[in-house]
Amino acid sequence: AKKKVEQPGSLDKDQLKQNIIHHLRSTLGTSEEKASRQSWWKATCAAVNEQVYERLTQTQQTHLKQDTRAVHYLSAEFLMGRLTANNLHNLGLYETCGVALKELGIDIADLCEEEPDMALGNGGLGRLAACFIDSLATLNLPAIGYGLHYEHGLFRQEIRDGRQIERPDSWREYGNPWEICRPESIQEIPLYGYVETVFGEDGKMKKVWHAGQKIKGVPWDIPVVGYEGKTVNILRLWESRASEFFDWDVFNAGGYIDSQAEKAQAETISKVLYPNDESEAGKILRLVQQYFFCACSLKDIMRRYKRAHGSDFSQFAAQIAIQLNDTHPTIAIPELMRILVDEEELDWDAAWAICYKVFSYTNHTLLPEALEKWALYLFERVLPRHLEIIYEINRRFLEDLVEPKWPGDDAIKAKLSIIEEGSQRKVRMGNLCVIGSHKVNGVAEIHSKLVKEDLFPEFAELWPEKMCNVTNGVTPRRWLLSCNPELAKLYTDTVGAEWPLKLDLMRGALKHADDAAFQKKFMDIKRANKEKLVKVIKAETGIDVSAEAIFDIQIKRLHEYKRQQLNLIHIMALYRRLLANPDYDMHPRVFIFGSKAAPGYKLAKDIIYAINKVAERVNNDERIKGKLKVVFMPNYRVSLAEKLIPAADVSQQISTAGYEASGTGNMKLAMNGAITLGTLDGANIEIAEEAGAEYNAIFGLTVDEVKAVKAKGYNPWDYYYANPEIKAVLDWMDTDFFTPGRPGELSSIKRALLDGGDTYLALADFESYSEAQKKVDAMYRDKQVWAKAVIVNSATMGKFNSDRSIQDYADYIWYLKSCSVA
Ligand code: 26W
């Protein structure tokens, strides 16, 4: 008889309790009396995994039997955060488990705190990948995420004397209950070496790549549980190991030490995540990382395809979609060509037709320093055969497409070529992506327009249908249901329990936006969340803040274009106004920052230092009567975001227009009842469209105005001399007011804004920003106005459900249908 599959939430409290105790004893080897909180956590995970694995098997059997088309999401980063609460919620077991644990004397929230964040990503791009795989499973779409199993994720940030210190992150030091090693699916990956041209018996020319080294790729699977869903997909992360294949010869020859060195080198490939966000370092190890995970993933895809179809590749493009999350996995394009042409012996045109249908590419940034280009000599050393293939792709592209369209135009050829000429020749990964993909998308309307018109205009002329938009989204399961249970409950009571799947239902709360009783409920929840955060702030920083104040939050990676420095100079201006007039009329405000700087980004680190120094001075100045507080929360990460976001009143999204591709924190904060204080950039534009600009504080130059100002020749000194407040604040940075005895420690910020030319127009936007801040203050003082605004913002965020984004990808890019799992 067929075994009955457990339905979501079908496990009752007593069964769960029994299972937890069972695992405590027989998996963790301890007892209820002795168990540490960590053991309780692991035992709970083991009990939950019984449910997860059942459904995982069911899902895989269904997909296999139905031979479903699937999407393969290739990403160098997956910023997963913690999984315990998330998996419990998605299985419909959170409440039950809470009661079970309570009866065992454990608080479920404390238990969840035991889990280290899985921080295998830098910021927006990595967290988007995590939201997307949640939505893929929730929508019952056959999908697999592929990435790298970094031993160390993004560094842990400590603040010492106001400065950022980086410490290694060791997320799996004491074991991770969510990952499963799959030695049966190990892959072997060639690197380095040379290419030989040989002629087969049929007289055909063939290329043979003789690798200089082989690396073993060990897959670790993380189950991805869909909401209420029957579908459990996997995230497969590759770990590098030394291949045994020639170590032993070295060992036998007495080279034990050499063999260990070889091993160490192989294992460095997946050792650590590059902490650079939006700036390319051009390091060879990073190229090796990229090739390593792409090659492992393609071998895995091939193995699965061949199991069903043998060497008949006519169905390959019908079965396989591969999404490239930015250019980091671009090397998968020539790798698939290599497999099809060199190994499977398809002719070039047939192989190219397959590739073109299989791949699609998402662009996440327009910043020139973030666009990946590899020095040709490095590329050739690591991947000699791939370089030949790229030359051939390029030759055909230029001859067959560019020359007919722009006959004789060498300037255009030089611009569109995959190879950048010059003193140092380079491979342009962006161009390769566009040429090798059937669809290219940006991540918000304005960003996609700029990708089309400014970044790749000629490509858009060649292929007008190729360029498209898919506005980002976030999973409401993590970013509302799980992180803000009280607000989630209010939505359930108001619009029904379906909203985590159909976020548009939140609009049902709009009709209560003016209702005093509903406003009170909503604002009481916000107040309670703020009270909770007050305690976290005290515990983490020692700073006392009051929940009476406006909580004004800017949380994101530190970058000049995101303009934390604009926030800071405004804080200094407010402080000055308060010193000049202690009765300066403003509602008390707490400015909260959370941000990591790339370790090599000097100015970003200086801005962190400046925020901390200003905070010290402001927070300890009794003259301003607690009207102003500044808090820098160390070690910003997913699990901290989950505590900050529900407590925010104001969401600062203040990038220079045209630079933030989308932003996703903006969506999370608005959903949880914050007003957006933002520029018309990225998804802010669409957020303001949904909610109504009047309920937010929109300011600053538009994209077109930014372009115009830059074209005319921007001079920050004009603003310095024209606005006495700007001048006073910047001059303050040269003094020792914030750094007693050490004048000039904050001067680098002033210098970047004046001598450095203020690349991101912070001074140009200052006045408008300051006015928007006044609007925020005025709105907040009228409790009804404020309550209505936050309710409208929250209730209109349905569009930003990542389920909607994924449905767009499925419909317009992947042509992928859902598959229900019994
Ligand atoms: C090669 C160095 C490097 C590393 C990471 C360059 C660029 C990146 C990412 C593309 C940076 C990133 O995370 N971009 C963000 O992607 C989010 C998801 O689409 C957007 O919401 C953010 O606006 C964008 O900055």
161-199: pLDDT as tens digits? 999 999 999 999 999 999 999 999 999 999 999 999 999
For residue 326, how far is its CA from the centre of ligand 1 (angstroms)?
8
Do 196 and 269 belong to one domain?
A: yes
Ligand 1 atom closest to 663 (CA): 21
Whether 20 shows a pLDDT value over 70: the answer reads: yes
Which among 800, 97, 3 has a CA at the least distance from the CA of 470? Answer: 800
Helices 429-436 and 384-397, packing angle to 10 deg = 60
In this structure, which amino acid lies at residue 637? R
Q: What is the pLDDT of residue 373?
A: 97
Contact 489, 460 (CB under 8 A): no
How far apart are the C-alpha atoms of 392 and 406, rounded to whole Å? 20
Choose, from 127, 216, 386, 557, the residue flagged as catalytic. Answer: 557
Ligand 1 atom closest to 286 (CA): 1
Residue 802 C-alpha from the chain's centroid: 13
Which among 143, 120, 121, 140 has a CA at the least distance from the CA of 235? Answer: 143
Q: Where are the alpha helices (DSSP H) in 497-542?
A: 516-541
For the chain, counts of helices (H) and of strands (E): 34, 25
Nearest CA to ligand 1 atom 7: 278
- Site of tokens 């990038």: 655
Cα dihedral angle (83, 89, 92, 95), rounded to 10 degrees? 110
Which among 672, 653, 675, 671 has a CA at the least distance from the CA of 662? Answer: 653
Question: Is 557 known to be catalytic?
Answer: yes
For residue 473, how far is its CA from the centre of ligand 1 (angstroms)?
14
Beta bridge partners of 383: none
How far apart are the C-alpha atoms of 289 and 130, rounded to whole Å? 20
Share of the chain above pLDDT 90, in %: 94
Question: Is 530 known to be catalytic?
Answer: no
Do 640 and 529 belong to one domain?
A: yes
For residue 755, how far is its CA from the centre of ligand 1 (angstroms)?
28
Question: Is 413 known to be catalytic?
Answer: no
- Mean predicted confidence (pLDDT) in 748-752: 98
Question: Is 817 known to be catalytic?
Answer: no
How far apart are the C-alpha atoms of 449 and 441, rounded to whole Å? 10
Do 457 and 499 belong to one domain?
A: no
Do 461 and 480 belong to one domain?
A: no
Overall number of domains in the chain: 2
- Site of tokens 């940034």: 365
Taking the CB of residue 599, how many other CB atoms lie within 10 A of it?
Answer: 15
Question: Is 475 known to be catalytic?
Answer: no
How far apart are the C-alpha atoms of 684 and 678, rounded to whole Å? 7
How far apart are the C-alpha atoms of 205 and 198, rounded to whole Å? 6
pLDDT digits (tens, 9 = 90+) for 758-807: 999 999 999 999 999 999 999 999 999 999 999 999 999 999 999 999 99
Query: What is the SS3 string spanning 654-698?
Result: CCCCCCCCCCCHHHHHHHCCCEEEECCCCCHHHHHHHHCHHHCEE
Q: What is the pLDDT of residue 751?
A: 98
Residue 555 domain-assigned?
yes
Choose, from 299, 562, 788, 804, the residue flagged as catalytic. Answer: 562
Q: Ligand 1 in contact with 661 (CB < 6 A)?
A: yes
Residue 6 domain-assigned?
no
Which among 419, 466, 421 has a CA at the least distance from the CA of 442? Answer: 466
Do 457 and 504 belong to one domain?
A: no
Residue 47 domain-assigned?
no
Question: Tokens for 386?
Answer: 């791939």
Q: What is the pLDDT of residue 600?
A: 97
Contact 479, 500 (CB under 8 A): no
Which among 232, 138, 189, 282 has a CA at the least distance from the CA of 806? Answer: 138
For residue 555, how far is its CA from the centre of ligand 1 (angstroms)?
15
Choose, from 373, 428, 526, 556, the residue flagged as catalytic. Answer: 556
Which among 274, 270, 287, 290 has a CA at the least distance from the CA of 219? Answer: 270
Nearest CA to ligand 1 atom 17: 124
Residue 55 domain-assigned?
no
- Helix H or strand E segment including 593: strand 589-594
Q: Ligand 1 in contact with 442 (CB < 6 A)?
A: no
| Cβ burial 63-97 (10 Å sphere, 16+ → b, else e) | beeeebbbbbbbbbbbbbbbbbbbbbbbbbbbebb
How far apart are the C-alpha atoms of 270 and 216, rounded to whole Å? 11
For residue 536, how far is its CA from the centre of ligand 1 (angstroms)?
29
Do 483 and 410 belong to one domain?
A: no
- Of 326, 361, 469, the one to substitute when testing ligand 1's pocket (max ligand atoms within 8 A of C-beta) is 326
Ligand 1 atom closest to 123 (CA): 13
Do 215 and 359 belong to one domain?
A: yes
For residue 359, how far is its CA from the centre of ligand 1 (angstroms)?
20
Do 455 and 503 belong to one domain?
A: no
Question: Tokens for 626?
Answer: 């607690």
Here the CATH number for the domain that contains residue 371 is 3.40.50.2000
Question: Tokens for 641?
Answer: 């975001």
Residue 791 domain-assigned?
yes
Do 520 and 402 belong to one domain?
A: no
Residue 98 domain-assigned?
no
Whether 396 shows a pLDDT value over 90: the answer reads: yes
- Helix H or strand E segment including 609: helix 602-619
How would residue 729 be classed by pLDDT, with cut points 50, 70 and 90?
very high
Question: Is 562 known to be catalytic?
Answer: yes
Q: What is the pLDDT of residue 6?
A: 42
Radius of gyration over every alpha carbon of the chain, rounded to an integer in angstroms:
27
Residue 105 domain-assigned?
no
Phi first, then psi, for residue 57 (nearest 5°) are -60, -45
Whether 3 shows a pLDDT value over 70: the answer reads: no
- Mean predicted confidence (pLDDT) in 443-465: 98
Contact 234, 223 (CB under 8 A): yes
Q: What is the pLDDT of residue 501?
A: 97
Lowest-confidence range among 145-149, 274-278, 291-295, 703-707? 274-278
Do 439 and 496 belong to one domain?
A: no
Q: Ligand 1 in contact with 123 (CB < 6 A)?
A: yes
Residue 65 C-alpha from the chain's centroid: 33
Question: Tokens for 206?
Answer: 């063939």
Choose, from 23, 69, 477, 668, the residue flagged as catalytic. Answer: 668
Question: Tokens for 473?
Answer: 């989204």
Do 432 and 570 belong to one domain?
A: no
Q: Ligand 1 in contact with 682 (CB < 6 A)?
A: yes
Beta bridge partners of 6: none
Ligand 1 atom closest to 128 (CA): 18
Assign residue 56 a region: left if phi > 0, alpha if psi is -120 to 50, beta otherwise?
alpha
Domain that holds residue 701: 476-799
**ipTM of this complex prediction, to 2 decimal places:** 0.98
Assign residue 763 a region: left if phi > 0, alpha if psi is -120 to 50, beta otherwise?
alpha
| Cβ burial 452-491 (10 Å sphere, 16+ → b, else e) | beebbeebbebbeebbbbbbbbbbbbbbbbbbbbebbebb
Choose, from 17, 69, 364, 629, the residue flagged as catalytic. Answer: 364
Residue 28 domain-assigned?
no
Do 465 and 480 belong to one domain?
A: no
- Mean predicted confidence (pLDDT) in 375-379: 97
Cα dihedral angle (401, 406, 412, 416), rounded to 10 degrees? -10
Contact 306, 266 (CB under 8 A): no
For residue 365, how far is its CA from the centre of ligand 1 (angstroms)?
6
For residue 663, how far is its CA from the centre of ligand 1 (angstroms)?
9
How would residue 2 be classed by pLDDT, with cut points 50, 70 and 90?
very low
